Amino acid sequence: MFETLKAQPADKILALVQAYRDDPRETKIDLGVGVYKDANGLTPVMRAVKTAEHRLWEAQDTKVYTGLAGDPAFADAMIGLILSDAVPRETVAAAATPGGTGAVRQAFELIRMARPEARVFVSDPTWPNHLSILSYLGMEVVPYRYFDEETRGVDFDGMCADLRKARAGDVVLLHGCCHNPTGANPTDAEWDTVIEILRETGALPMIDIAYQGFGDGLDADAAATRKIAAAVPECLIAASCSKNFGIYRERTGLLMAISAEPAARGLNQGTLAFLNRQNFSFPPDHGARVVTMILQDEALRAGWKAELEEVRNTMLGLRRQLADTLRDLSGSDRFGFLAQHRGMFSRLGTTPDKVEELRAKHGIYMVGDSRMNIAGLNSQTVPILARAIVEVGI
Ligand code: LMR
């Protein structure tokens, strides 16, 4: 049987991890996969996570199954964190998933189940795994313009023109904050226009929010998600705890399905539980429990928020340092966008050849579309990167 299998394409982001590991150069710099690194290049376990894990180890007296949708306390805590009081709690069905990717996958399956002919509008570009999963599920994708290659900001006119082509029964996939891979995000006023378009077309928004707290702060980063959820009759939200709690390998995510009609919640909740059962049965619990403990405990929550702020400010500082150094070295303002972008990533906006040259000559690893993980830098490596960017002629 297995001889019929075909080799599958390697994930471009994950392939870089191995290529970087295999590079013997001591001066190499990893700006590939989206993982936060401190000034020493380590991805630390956050202090609040360590404390919660310690308490959990002491207090937990069973590993018996939770529910198919995970522990309801996790859903409550995460709904509070992401949506605050934007929509009534009784309109939100939610299920824990293996990471944010798990939530994305379950959301796509839910869409396909509800409306097999739905078209999914995705930003061009988007996180490559969105496209890969949609293609694997045989779902129709419609790209919408998003990135202006000139300004390296959002091509908002293009985005609106393309989103206006959506219809009721279609889905518009949006990045709630910190767009991956570009780092360019709509302004508040632009989000209002997106909401108008969603209401006019009747298309269902699906929001992928994987970087809350990495852009402008926990509430600011959830503002667009909250506004959208409050403004439309139905909405899907796929959330990840991988980055903002630094618990990547624990696979902790949540899928929310919101219906303004409270009577729909039972059906939505049952469907989410069913989909979990079909795909993996019970979702992972450890990360979810740790997150719940942190969000429910005032002191742990305050400690976590403070550490997340440190992480966010470190990334903002690196962005400014890189933009300033490039201005000095290039004698132009054309890299100013790096300080405007938000989140872990910025798309530098250059060709795959130049990206390859950066890797071959300078040992600098970024994704082929020129996405850089800003959190892979530190104050010593910023000037090295800046010199290399100017040297290869970007
Ligand atoms: C990324 O985009 O680098 C992260 O979301 C990690 C991943 O799974 O691709």
Q: pLDDT of 64-78, one tens digit each?
A: 999 999 999 999 999
Q: pLDDT of 110-121, one tens digit each?
A: 999 999 999 999
pLDDT confidence bin for 263, thresholds 50/70/90: confident
Q: Of 296, 331, 359, which residue sits at a domain end?
A: 296
Is residue 215 assigned to a domain?
yes
* Mean pLDDT of the 181-191 span: 98
Same domain, 259 and 362: no
In CATH, what number is assigned to the domain containing residue 124? 3.40.640.10
Q: Of 254, 273, 296, which residue sits at a domain end?
A: 296
Is residue 377 assigned to a domain?
yes
Same domain, 101 and 184: yes
Is residue 59 assigned to a domain?
no
Same domain, 286 and 325: no
Is residue 251 assigned to a domain?
yes
Ligand 1 center to 355 CA (angstroms)? 18
Ligand 1 center to 295 CA (angstroms)? 24
Q: pLDDT of 202-228, one tens digit each?
A: 999 999 999 999 999 999 999 999 999
pLDDT confidence bin for 181, thresholds 50/70/90: very high
* Pairing of β 253-259 and β 234-240: antiparallel
Q: Is the pLDDT of residue 31 over 90?
A: yes
For residue 287, give its domain range: 65-296
Same domain, 87 and 222: yes
Tokens 């939100």 sit on residue: 92
Same domain, 277 and 313: no
As a whole number of angstroms, the distance between CA 48 and CA 293 comes to 9
* Mean pLDDT of the 374-387 span: 96
Tokens 């891979």 sit on residue: 181
Q: Is 26 helix (H, G, I), strand (E, B) or coil?
A: coil
Q: What is the mean pLDDT of the chain?
A: 97
Q: Is the pLDDT of residue 123 over 90?
A: yes
Q: Of 263, 296, 329, which residue sits at a domain end?
A: 296
As a whole number of angstroms, the distance between CA 114 and CA 213 comes to 32
Same domain, 382 and 323: yes
Q: pLDDT of 218-259, one tens digit each?
A: 999 999 999 999 999 999 999 999 999 999 999 999 999 999
Per the omega criterion (within 30 degrees of 0), is the bond before 125 cis? yes
pLDDT at site 39: 87
Residue 53 tokens read as: 């894990």
* Mean pLDDT of the 16-45 span: 93
Is residue 38 assigned to a domain?
yes
Q: How many CB atoms within 10 Å of residue 230? A: 15
Same domain, 375 and 261: no
Q: How many CB atoms within 10 Å of residue 117? A: 9
Q: Is the pLDDT of residue 32 over 90?
A: yes
Is residue 33 assigned to a domain?
yes
Q: pLDDT of 275-297, one tens digit each?
A: 999 999 999 999 999 999 999 99
pLDDT at site 261: 86
In CATH, what number is assigned to the domain containing residue 335? 3.90.1150.10
* Mean pLDDT of the 265-282 span: 98
| Active-site hit among 208, 221, 285, 369 | 208
Residue with CA at minimum distance from ligand 1 atom 1: 34
As a whole number of angstroms, the distance between CA 38 and CA 311 comes to 8
Q: Is the dihedral of CA 71, 76, 103, 275 positive or negative?
A: positive
Pocket of ligand 1 (CB under 6 A): 13, 33-34, 127, 129, 180
Is residue 337 assigned to a domain?
yes
Is residue 166 assigned to a domain?
yes
* Mean pLDDT of the 325-339 span: 96
Ligand 1 center to 372 CA (angstroms)? 12
Q: Which residues contact 259 (CB under 8 A, 6 or more apart)?
A: 91, 93, 233, 234, 265, 268
Same domain, 107 and 181: yes
Residue 255 tokens read as: 């899928």
How many residues would you count in the chain? Answer: 394
Per the omega criterion (within 30 degrees of 0), is the bond before 284 cis? no
The answer to whether residue 208 is catalytic is: yes
The answer to whether residue 73 is catalytic is: no
Q: Is the pLDDT of residue 356 over 90?
A: yes
Residue from 129, 175, 244 whose mutation best tests the ligand 1 pocket (most atoms within 8 A of CB): 129
Q: How many domains does the chain divide into?
A: 2
The answer to whether residue 191 is catalytic is: no
* Mean pLDDT of the 184-204 span: 98
The answer to whether residue 61 is catalytic is: no
Same domain, 307 and 194: no
Same domain, 320 and 290: no
Q: What is the CA radius of gyration of the chain?
A: 21
pLDDT at site 176: 98
Same domain, 332 and 281: no
Single pTM value for the model: 0.97
Q: Is the pLDDT of residue 52 over 90?
A: yes
Same domain, 25 and 100: no
